[in-house]
Chain A
Amino acid sequence: MKARIFVTLKGGVLDPQGKAIHHALEGLGFGGVNDVRAGKLIELDLADGTSDEDIDAMCRKLLANTVIENYRIEKVA
């Protein structure tokens, strides 16, 4: 069983990396990009039967810093 964890900065938390990417896209001539936010994708290869609670705990205890980040869990069959 696999799970994908998407970690993103909360709204209102400054993202200099996203800003730099935005700037670079503009530099390449791409117009119409209103904003860029960069995040992380963490893929977990898990033992079958790993509980949702455990995956959630992994996110809360390590994978995301919930002071500044949100996370979303996507289970992959």
Chain B
Amino acid sequence: MKSAVIVFPGSNCDRDLAVAFEAATGTKPAMIWHRDTDLPDDIDLIGVPGGFSYGDYLRSGAMAARSPVMQAVAKAADRGAFVLGICNGFQVLTESGLLPGALLRNAGGNFVCRDVALTVENAQSAFTSRYEAGEAISYPVAHHDGNYFADDATLDRLEGEGRVALRYAENVNGSARNIAGILNEAGNVLGMMPHPERVIEAAHGATDGKRLFDGLVAGLLAKA
């Protein structure tokens, strides 16, 4: 089970995500710098962490999406590696075209930093298999640009194909159709604004995020 966390200048959730990956897999993930052009062979799981890569210059995630390492991530995703993008990682995945749509400035104009009630929309995905469909959970969010946008045709397609993994139970940022996290067509790439890695152990005050990592890793091991 090989995992990696991508590190951009300005990432600030990379170490939290590494802890979550290690807790689930039992092995430390490789930390991959943005200028690297190669990922470990046969990588199973790649994390694109939260933060403010490149200072959010131009658009959130825009510069990171064009960095050398993201071409390697796209290639790995193409051959079936699992990719989890959280917060800025979600912005990077939309900017790089691995996921559809874009993340706009929050509708209220404010940075939102608090726990948010979510609904698990699709519990069949590799990422959400340990949740119940319709289950109410809570993850923290901390973002300024989390307002998910896509045209109606794209939104209809996402919903029709079961690719909305998570929805906000309270819309904190203006996201279209309350979308908090979406899957790619093949189901091996998930992007989400909320932070599951911040709620994986009792000391965090909540553990709703732990099942995402445990379920994903157990599924990957079973498949191997």
* Interface positions of A (Cβ within 8 A of B): 13-17, 19-20, 61-63, 65, 67-68
Contacts and interface: CB of A to CB of B under 8 A. Distances in A.
Given A14-B107, A16-B107, A62 B58 contact: yes
Interface of B: 58-59, 62, 66, 94-95, 100-102, 104-109, 147, 149-150, 174
A68 B149 contact: yes
Contacts of B58: 62-63
B107 A65 contact: no
A20 B106 CA distance: 12
Given A62-B58, A63-B58, A65-B59, A14 B95 contact: no
A17 B66 contact: no
A63 B65 CA distance: 12
A65 B105 contact: no
B218 to A, nearest CB: 35
A14 B109 contact: no
A17 B105 contact: yes
B109 A67 contact: no
Contacts of B106: 16
Nearest to B147: A14
Contact of B149 (A13, A62, A63): A13
A16 B102 contact: no
A40 to B, nearest CB: 8
Given A13-B149, A14-B174, A62-B58, A68 B102 contact: yes
Nearest to B174: A14
Contacts of A67: 94, 100-102, 149-150
A16 B105 CA distance: 7
B95 A65 contact: yes
Nearest to B150: A67
A71 B94 CA distance: 19
A65 B102 contact: yes
A14 B104 contact: yes
Query: Which of B104, B106, B109 neighbours the largest number of chain A CB atoms within 10 Å of its CB?
Result: B104
Contact of A16 (B59, B101, B108, B150): B108
6 contacts: A14-B107, A16-B105, A16-B106, A19-B109, A67-B101, A68-B149
